Amino acid sequence: MFTFEKALELYKNEPTKEKLYEASDLLLREMTVGEKIRLLQGHALGVTAKNFLTKGRFYNGEAYPAGGCKRLGIPPVMFTDGPRGIVMGKCTCFPVSMLRGASFDDELEYRIGEVFAEEASALDANLFAGVCINLLRNPMWGRAQETYGEDPCLLGRMGAALTRAMQDNGIIACPKHYALNSIEDLRFSANAIADERTLHEVYLPHFKKCIDAGAMSIMGAYNKVNGTYACENKELLTDILHGKWGFDGFSLSDFFYGIYDAKRSLKAGMDMEMPYLFRYATLSCLLKKGEITEEDINKSAARILRALISTLPKHKKQDKSVILSKEHIALAREAATKGIVLLKNKNKALPLPEGKKIAVVGRYANKRNTGDHGSSNVFSPYAVTPYEGIKNRFGEENVSVYSGSSCKEAMKAAVNCDYIVVCVGSDWLQEGEFLVNLGNVKKKPKGSGGDRADLRIPEEDVTLIRALSTLGKKLIVNIMGGSAYVIKDWIDLADSVVMSFYSGLEGGNALADIISGDVTPAGKLPFTIAGKAEHYPPFLHLGAKDKNIEYGYYHGYTLFDKKGIEPHFPFGFGLSYTDFELECLSCEKDEEKIKIAVNVTNRGDVDGDEVIQVYVGSNSTEKDRPVKVLKGFKRVSVKAGEAVSAEVDVLIDDIRFYNPESGSWELDEGYTVYVGADSKKLTVAGKIVF
């Protein structure tokens, strides 16, 4: 009898694609039809009921099982969610993906992935569905915090790093939500319409990067794409995923309502329904009726087997003692400091000098605020608030606090202080996974998650900022939230503005690291901040009668460039406590890549990091092309008064444009390569001709 153990041995002796297919095919031949169908089904119903009844948690309190075959020793897929940590148990809550995207540090993201893999393993999971790489099209999107930003290159690099970390450590990486998923309140009914070129150049490249990085699973989305639900979309699941990209792994549905029709989904290429038997409970009946074939079952079952055979041998079971270890907590703090963005620093109000009195006020001054309370929630036993972190750093005797929105109380707390840190923004009630709508379409949202009702911070926060600005103190505004806010109406009142996003269990300490100068800020905006909300692409809100929405080719900085709109803060922007000078030394190409050598000099008196950003623009005047697009980046550390040289590589394949007429990727005759510190502060590095 050919068992799973023998399949592993066959592949281990010769780990090639051919042997992987041979091993899965031999194992498949040993299975009954019923066993193969079971591979395609989630079996979490008992687990969810137990969590709800005994642990006070309904969602993912334990790993969700799917598939498996005891007779042949085939282990089940054991699912855990993400992406700011492992949602099971009480694990280490890292900063949200958007903050990690702001670090522009894929090496750091790989290290974070290693931690995720360890904690997932300790709690018996072997699949991590936390590689969230949906593109941020409009900051209204409630789950923006779960992704890395608005740019396909940034999404691809960060997502690929997390993917490699999981797969290298024997955990099946699962990028999501495939595809065009960036509206939350209408996620079950929105129909995202995109032409072929837009689909391939804007909304899919980052998914392909994760597939190329070794992902062996992928999660479908709830929404429709060009009129067909994503989980029964043959173009996405078969023609592109397995056909054009050569994906060897399996697809699984988004939970509960991802699949509407078992026959349509299976034949389109949706391999596994999660998290429990629902539509795919009818597969045996459909097979008997002849509406599906055993070959349909075999295709999906084989893909699941290939993922298990190729990934699990690298899995090393971890002890639960790794969870919340000192090393994991330290990395969460490091990640937070590296992604916090300094937007404004008038007259060098930051860093705060020693011995000064500091008031920490606002709704989030002393409140745990780590982000969404939906499927991405991580139940860490603690989270350091801004007040706690600043108190830890500057001493309790130097820090006063008022956690609320009363102007009178806030001013009372601040009157005898030299500096005011006011904590504003959003929490899980204003944005996140759509749980219960209790007013998200009103001016002042009171709902439980969902899309934002307004791109401005709440009016009570603005009123507080205005009141505090009259005290004549140095005013530092700390913005907490998932993505961009329109802040032009009040920013002139602040001396400094820091964007700390949702920064995890060590967020308060990380904020203190930044504002004290213990760490020099180097985070860069992973999105464009507009001067006006209407400068962003259209968005669909709850209550919209027409559920169709055009996902155009341009969004974010490419849209601002194309329309000639000046952003309030450009994509890639971020201030430091020091001054960097970037000098392009060379720009050369070979058959595979463009190599850009850059010298980075730290002209200031403190050590710091800078992010070298490389953009490429086509020189074609006959075709519709973006002005420029991010194609490479590298974060470098430079000591005060010193310089370092670094090389940023851009793959030739990454500057090709998709031709929908031929279905191929083609080069234009010439390109301009730009280097700079953000998407507006650029110099020409060179011209490339083909």
Instruction: Identify which has the larger pLDDT, 162 or 447.
Output: 162
Preceding amide of 179 cis, omega within 30: yes
Domains in the chain: ranges and CATH: 1-30 (no CATH), 38-321 (3.20.20.300), 336-563 (3.40.50.1700), 580-689 (2.60.40.10)
Indicate whether 100 pLDDT > 70: yes
CA-CA distance, 187 to 542, in Å (whole number)? Answer: 10
Question: Residue 318, Cα to own-chain centre: how many angstroms?
Answer: 25
Q: Are 82 and 129 in contact (CB under 8 A)?
A: yes
Partners of residue 436 on adjacent β-strands? 448
Residue 50's pLDDT band (boundaries 50, 70, 90)? confident
Classify residue 631 as left (phi > 0), alpha (psi -120 to 50) or beta.
Answer: alpha
Distance CA 359, CA 355 (A): 13
With a pLDDT cut of 70, the percent of the chain lying above it is: 97
Q: What is the pLDDT of residues 439-497, one digit of tens each?
A: 334 443 445 789 999 999 999 999 999 999 999 999 999 999 999 999 999 999 999 99
Per the CB < 8 A criterion, the answer to whether 494 and 475 are in contact is yes
In the predicted model, is pLDDT for residue 438 greater than 70?
no
How many Å apart are CA 275 and CA 80, to the nearest integer?
11
Token pair for 117: 């893999």
Give how far Cα 162 sits from Cα of 82, 489, 581, Å. 11, 38, 31
Mean pLDDT over 369-386 rounds to 96
DSSP letter for 178, please. B
| Mean predicted confidence (pLDDT) in 232-249 | 98
pLDDT above 80 (res 435): no
Residue 55's pLDDT band (boundaries 50, 70, 90)? low
Instruction: Return the residue matching tokens 């550390």.
Output: 637
Q: What is the DSSP string of 229-294?
A: EGGG-HIIIIIIIIIIS---SEEEPPTTTS-S-HHHHHHHT--BB-SBSSGGGGHHHHHHHTSS-H
State the average pLDDT over residues 515-542. Answer: 97
pLDDT above 90: percentage of residues in the chain: 94
The CA distance from 256 to 50, in Å, is 17
How many Å apart are CA 491 and CA 489, to the nearest integer? 6
Which segment of 198-212, 435-449, 519-533 scores lowest on mean pLDDT?
435-449
Mean pLDDT, range 77-95, rounded to an integer: 97
Predicted pLDDT of residue 442? 40
> Minimal CA–CA distance to 126: which of 86, 178, 71, 72?
86
Do 452 and 392 form a contact (C-beta atoms < 8 A)? no
Distances (CA, A) of 379 to 142, 382, 598, 657: 20, 8, 43, 43
Confidence class for position 54, pLDDT limits 50, 70, 90: low
Q: Are strands 358-362 and 399-403 parallel, antiparallel or unpaired?
A: parallel
Q: Is 683 exposed, middle or buried (0-12, 13-18, 19+ CB in 10 A)?
A: exposed
Q: How far apart are CA 175 and CA 573, in angstroms?
A: 27
Q: Calculate the dihedral angle through the C-alpha atoms of 400, 402, 406, 412, rounding to the nearest 10 degrees.
A: -20
Q: Tell me what the mean pLDDT of segment 654-663 comes to.
A: 97
Q: What is the pLDDT of residues 574-588, one digit of tens each?
A: 999 999 999 999 999
Spatial separation of the C-alpha atoms in residues 84 and 82, rounded to whole Å? 5
Average pLDDT for 345-352: 97
Q: pLDDT at position 443, please? A: 41
Instruction: List all residues 6 or more positions away from 271 whose beta carbon is below 8 Å from its beta carbon.
Output: 40, 250, 251, 252, 299, 300, 301, 303, 304
- Model confidence at 436, pLDDT cuts 50, 70, 90, reads low
Provide the pairing of β-strand 250-252 with 217-219: parallel
Residues in the chain: 690
Provide the mean pLDDT of the chain: 95
Residue located via tokens 């991802």: 258
Radius of gyration of the chain (CA): 25
Cα–Cα distance for residue pair 537/534, rounded to 1 Å: 7
The confidence score (pLDDT) of residue 179 equals 97
Q: Are 219 and 273 in contact (CB under 8 A)?
A: no
Alpha helices in 546-615 (DSSP H): 556-563
Distances (CA, A) of 181 to 21, 185, 529: 32, 11, 21
Q: Which residues contact 477 (CB under 8 A, 6 or more apart)?
A: 422, 424, 465, 491, 494, 496, 497, 498
Q: Where are the beta strands (DSSP E) in 531-653?
A: 548-550, 580-589, 593-602, 608-618, 629-638, 643-651
Q: pLDDT per residue over 601-614, tens digit each?
A: 999 999 999 999 99
pLDDT at 320 over 90: yes
For 65, the 3-state DSSP assignment is: strand
Count of helix runs (H) and strand runs (E) in the chain: 19, 27
The whole-angstrom separation of Cα 68 and Cα 299 is: 16
Separation of alpha carbons 170 and 238, rounded Å = 26
Hey, how many other C-beta atoms are within 10 angstroms of the C-beta on 493? 16
